[in-house]
Structure 1
Amino acid sequence: MTRQTPLVSIVIPLYNKADFILRTVASAASQLDVAFEIIVVDDGSTDDGAKLVHNAGLEGLFLIAQENAGVSAARNRGMTAARGKWIAFLDADDVWSCEHLATLLKAIDGSDAIAAFSNVRLQSRASCPLIDPRLVAQRVEDYFSFALRSGGYPISSSSIIALKDKLVAAGLFVEGISTGEDIDMWCRLACQGAFFYTAKLTATYNDARSHTRCSASGTVVRPFSAQRLHDLIASDELDPRLAESGRRYANFLMLEYARQLLDSGQYADARAVLLGECVPRYDPKRFLKRLIRTTSFGQTLFGLGQTHARQA
């Protein structure tokens, strides 16, 4: 008998998350009013996570094994196997409410939006969601402006659903990098069409994992997505109406890179980034604050501020 084609393929990349994966899979399997399949791609785990998924025996759940190649390769492998029109990503230690997929699909029903995303509850701070709750549900024609208004990183990999053919057209996730692959993907996907933001808290992000964009060795990673965004602007792939907001967002990414260098004590490198690769007029307050931090006076001033904050 031919299996029914699902509307949504849920792609879960798995690497050494045995302590979380069953809870995550259960939240995926609990989705209401949506025809879906669950594809777990085991990226060479060395724990029992894949075995737990296999033994779960859930209908519509498929386990794919591959040698360790990184989260991008795992997501891409899952998308290649996906039969659904829509792809929803769920990290192996995050969870959804049972109406997550239905809420996203309802928001874009009858529209030409190519993706939808929800607000995200931070596991450590349930009262402090990823996006300011005062920001209402809306169609997002200019993702870069929206991102700048909402903290810079409004989409979690576990909060978005997108058309499979648009993800393919955008070029899938870049493989072989350790961080920032998601930011780059959303920027390229935004060139394919409009998104919709639902504002509802239907996903929970396990923010216990590190937020610092560092390599496995602890080195601060240069945001390759900023240069790729500049390349997009210079090409024919980006709507000219998004060029200015795209430049502002690329500038934000470089300012964030400078901040991370400062936080790791690399003051000379941070100063070089600020003076050589950032545009002060796009974000003068953030630029000046970080430039001051590169000076001995600034290091003393901000160091004292952090000491007082810890003592308060």
Structure 2
Amino acid sequence: MKQLAIIIPAYNASTSLNRLLSQIVGQCTDQVEVVVVDDGSSDDTLSVAQSYSGNGVVAVHQDNAGVSSARNRGIQECSAQYIWFVDADDYLKPGAISTLLAAIEQEHADCYLFGFEKRNGSNVTCEVNDGSRLYADQQQVSEHINEIFSQNLVNTLWNKVFKREIIATNSLHFEKMESGEDATFVLQYLAVSNSLYVVAQIVYGYVLHSDTSSSHVYHAQYADDESRMFSALQTYCHQTGAKAGSIYASWGKDLVIGLDINAYNGMGPRKNYAAFRRLVNEQRQRLSGMAKVNYYAMSRWCVRLMRNSVVGYCVLRMRSLLRHD
């Protein structure tokens, strides 16, 4: 059995996929399998993937069903011990694969967390934990959950490696959601896994496409998806005894701004405050569980901020809106 499977869902990503596969092939060993799932692309994404078949890349085609479906298909197609989900428009740092294989060989864990850099045009920022460490059981992970993810992201897939056996045994899969599907999967996985090894090295490159981001689009199910994501965090805390206060607070702040952005995107070309407030209120009413609790807690925090600094509140609530006008 090979040690690592790299699963790449791809939709109309021929140029970036070609760059990514070139990087992967240049780093691959016989311990790595690569599965590209073409999600019904209308460009030559599939043919690009197939052109690497001589280098051990398996290309799979399916009708367009979304990234969650493509990842689920990739899980079905691979057989390695561990799985790494990589996005087609991102990139690997030099030596990324050898770093992960060495970590897997050095410390046997259910999940591996590593650093990444985020590229927005010419601006590059890094997120990486300040030291490598093994959290040997679920109690250790849950007790340090805030510390671990104060320096890295719990929400994303591509900064983690997962054990395939745990995914299969617990029938874990990606749910079809407009947002929050990655975080929901991660938390469901952490709830049924034991150990976590933190790799204090930058392995992955995330490319932020600010001009073509889906954040310009109104998502009708946004409030429902956020509620499901918060529910996954609540379930994780209940099952493990974790106190994830800082994660709740961070997500709550993001939710306050996210509802505003989503409402702003839903108003169409003729924007006015009355329509904006109506859409925000409609979304609020759809929130449930811990998402609702944290939304109103953070909203009160924003009100206190407004009392202290009108400018600060306006920057917090309107900065993202103006960017997306």
Contact 1:100 1:202 in 2 (8 A): yes
Contact 1:76 1:172 in 2 (8 A): no
Separation in structure 2 between the aligned mates of residue 304 and residue 89 of structure 1, nearest angstrom: 32
Any residues of structure 2 matched to 1:147-162 within 5 Å, and which?
148-150=149-151, 153-154=153-154, 156-162=156-162
Identity rate, percent? 18
Once the two structures are TM-superposed, the CA of residue 182 in structure 1 deviates from its matched residue by 0.9
- Which residue is 1:253 aligned to? 251
- Which residue is 2:166 aligned to? 166
Question: CA offsets per residue over residues 22-66 of structure 1, 9 Å max, x none?
Answer: 111112212255611111011111111111221334331111111
Question: CA offsets per residue over residues 159-206 of structure 1, 9 Å max, x none?
Answer: 322210122345433332122111111111212122222121121111
| Letter matched to residue 137 of structure 1 | S
Once the two structures are TM-superposed, the CA of residue 113 in structure 1 deviates from its matched residue by 1.7
SS of 2:15's equivalent in the other structure is coil
Any residues of structure 2 matched to 1:1-312 within 5 Å, and which?
5-31=1-27, 35-124=31-120, 127-129=124-126, 131=127, 133=128, 135-140=130-135, 141-142=141-142, 144-146=145-147, 148-150=149-151, 153-154=153-154, 156-191=156-191, 192-208=193-209, 217-219=218-220, 221-222=222-223, 223=226, 224-234=228-238, 238-240=239-241, 242=242, 244-245=243-244, 249-263=247-261, 264=263, 269=281, 277-278=293-294, 288-292=300-304, 298=310, 302=314
| Letter matched to residue 128 of structure 1 | T
SS of 1:19's equivalent in the other structure is helix
Once the two structures are TM-superposed, the CA of residue 305 in structure 1 deviates from its matched residue by 10
Contact 1:293 1:302 in 2 (8 A): no
Separation in structure 2 between the aligned mates of residue 211 and residue 277 of structure 1, nearest angstrom: 32
| Letter matched to residue 161 of structure 1 | V
Q: Quote the RMSD (CA, aligned, Å).
A: 3.6
Separation in structure 2 between the aligned mates of residue 290 and residue 70 of structure 1, nearest angstrom: 35
Report how many aligned residue pairs link the two structures.
290
| Letter matched to residue 79 of structure 1 | I
The TM-score with structure 2 as length reference comes to 0.74
Separation in structure 2 between the aligned mates of residue 139 and residue 279 of structure 1, nearest angstrom: 34
Separation in structure 1 between the aligned mates of residue 166 and residue 299 of structure 2, nearest angstrom: 35
What stretches of structure 2 of length at least 5 have no aligned partner?
136-140, 265-275
Contact 1:69 1:176 in 2 (8 A): no
Question: CA offsets per residue over residues 212-249 of structure 1, 9 Å max, x none?
Answer: 77595345723121023324445xxx223x2x22x653
| Letter matched to residue 225 of structure 1 | M
| Letter matched to residue 114 of structure 2 | S
Once the two structures are TM-superposed, the CA of residue 211 in structure 1 deviates from its matched residue by 10
